[in-house]
């Protein structure tokens, strides 16, 4: 089995590459390094079953060759992160819509199954708890940049399902809820790597809003196991699956947990949304997945305890800082 991972140098893509290689598959990765970091796959480069193309998914010549040579495509390349979306909406919309269109076009040419990674952001600010895959979605106005991400990913889902319906292309869609683990960067706004970095540096943890908003954080290693199940499972075709943890935690509680896990003496400070993002920023109060479908069809559920993942994130951050200091000293 030979897999192609778009965005395979990124946080989730690099864990997926590792998972597939450890299960005896060959892995080709295409990544333009726009948000992925080469150090994420440094340990895989010597593996003869791992191939890396540093290029854009918009390069159709390269994508054509890679698609022709693989059995399955995991499409993860995308512009992600609330901060990236708010500050670079043109890049977000163009990358997500045109990039996915290019991937589906070549996949269809060679009749390769596509596992498309989408997002829980799709549900928008609907107040339903939990979110099931066929629920209605509630998005804010086009004047609020945040919603461009949800819309762009919704178009990706529509397009993938359209290829499935009209052209018979095998596709399966994963809606990822907040995914965390080693190698995730806080650069684009993600809360866990930020809190961990702040706690390790003894700086205040910045909780946006009143901190009562909740999320469910799944370990990336559980998530990539789910993606691999979507690839294997023919029953998953033309379907959408929530992949996420069902343990709900408020952001203020998360901050306290990060402080406890890292043994930090940091304080917690509360920061208004308009200061953190932009005026009129809209956040979701709760975001909880209904994972009944993933459990029934894929036999999947998130298993790793949040504390264990936070410890792994902290260990990674410490090791990375030591590496950087070592390199600086040399
Ligand atoms: N958040 C926070 N401090 C930070 C970064 C994020 O309090 O430094 C909050 C953010 O406002 C949101 C939650 O943490 O309510 C999760 O944010 P993230 O960007 O990680 O994911 P998403 O908003 O997509 O769920």
Q: Residue 247 is inside which H or E element, if any?
A: none
* Alpha carbons 265 and 201: distance in angstroms, whole number: 10
* Residue 251 falls inside a structural domain: no
Give pLDDT, residue 101. 97
**Cα 23 to middle of ligand 1, angstroms:** 33
* Residue 273 falls inside a structural domain: no
Q: Which residues pair with 268 in a beta bridge?
A: 205
* Residue 193 falls inside a structural domain: no
Give pLDDT, residue 85. 84
* Residue 271 falls inside a structural domain: no
* Banded pLDDT at 195 (limits 50, 70, 90): very high
Pocket flag, ligand 1, residue 206 (CB < 6 Å):
yes
The mean of the pLDDT values for the chain is 95
* Residue 131 falls inside a structural domain: yes
Residue of minimum CA distance from atom 3 in ligand 1: 207
Whether the CB-CB separation of 320 and 267 falls below 8 Å is answered with no
Count of CB atoms situated within 10 Å of the CB of 187: 13
Query: Considering the chain, what percentage of its residues have pLDDT values greater than 90?
Result: 87
Count of CB atoms situated within 10 Å of the CB of 24: 8
Q: Which residues pair with 258 in a beta bridge?
A: none
* Residue 207 falls inside a structural domain: no
CATH number of the domain enclosing 131: 3.40.50.720
Give pLDDT, residue 329. 67
Residue of minimum CA distance from atom 23 in ligand 1: 82
**Cα 230 to middle of ligand 1, angstroms:** 28
* Residue 6 falls inside a structural domain: yes
Query: Considering the chain, what percentage of its residues have pLDDT values greater than 70?
Result: 99
> Where would I find the H helices in the chain?
11-22, 60-69, 82-87, 89-110, 146-167, 191-201, 220-232, 251-262, 273-276, 292-293, 306-329
Q: How many domains does the chain have?
A: 1
* Residue 75 falls inside a structural domain: yes
The range of the structural domain enclosing residue 171 comes to 2-179+219-244+284-304
Residue 32 main-chain phi, psi, to 5 deg: -95, 5
**Alpha-carbon separation of residue 312 from 11, 72, 221 (angstroms):** 14, 30, 11
Q: What is the pLDDT of residues 43-99, one digit of tens each?
A: 999 999 999 999 999 999 999 999 999 999 999 999 887 788 888 889 889 999 999
């Amino acid at each position: 089995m030979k897999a192609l991972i778009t965005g395979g140098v990124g946080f989730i893509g690099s864990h997926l590459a590792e998972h597939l290689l450890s299960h005896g598959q060959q892995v080709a990765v295409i990544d333009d390094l726009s948000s992925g970091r080469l150090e994420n796959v440094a340990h895989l480069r010597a593996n003869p079953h791992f191939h890396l193309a540093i290029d854009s998914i918009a390069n159709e010549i390269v994508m054509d060759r890679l698609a022709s040579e693989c059995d399955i495509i995991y499409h993860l390349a995308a512009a992600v992160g609330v901060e990236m979306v708010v500050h670079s909406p043109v890049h977000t919309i163009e990358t997500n819509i045109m990039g996915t269109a290019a991937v589906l076009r070549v996949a269809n040419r060679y009749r390769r199954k596509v596992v498309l990674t989408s997002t829980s952001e799709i549900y928008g600010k609907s107040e339903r708890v939990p979110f099931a895959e066929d629920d209605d979605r509630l998005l804010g106005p086009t004047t609020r940049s945040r919603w461009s991400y949800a819309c762009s990913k919704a178009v990706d889902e529509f397009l993938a399902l359209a290829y499935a319906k009209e052209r018979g292309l095998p596709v399966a869609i994963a809606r990822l809820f907040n995914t965390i683990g080693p190698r995730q960067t806080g650069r684009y706004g993600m809360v866990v790597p930020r809190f961990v970095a702040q706690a390790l540096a003894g700086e205040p943890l910045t909780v946006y809003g009143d901190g009562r908003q909740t999320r469910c954080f799944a370990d990336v290693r559980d998530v990539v196991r789910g993606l691999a199940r979507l690839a294997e499972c023919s029953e998953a075709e033309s379907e959408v699956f929530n992949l996420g943890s069902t343990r709900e935690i408020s952001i203020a509680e998360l901050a306290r947990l990060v402080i406890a896990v890292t043994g930090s003496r940091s304080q917690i400070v509360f920061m208004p949304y308009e200061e953190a993002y932009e005026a009129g920023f809209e956040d979701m109060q709760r975001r909880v997945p209904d994972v009944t479908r993933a459990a029934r069809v894929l036999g999947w559920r998130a298993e790793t305890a949040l504390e264990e993942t936070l410890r792994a994130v902290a260990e990674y951050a410490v090791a990375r800082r030591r590496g950087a200091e070592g390199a600086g000293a040399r």
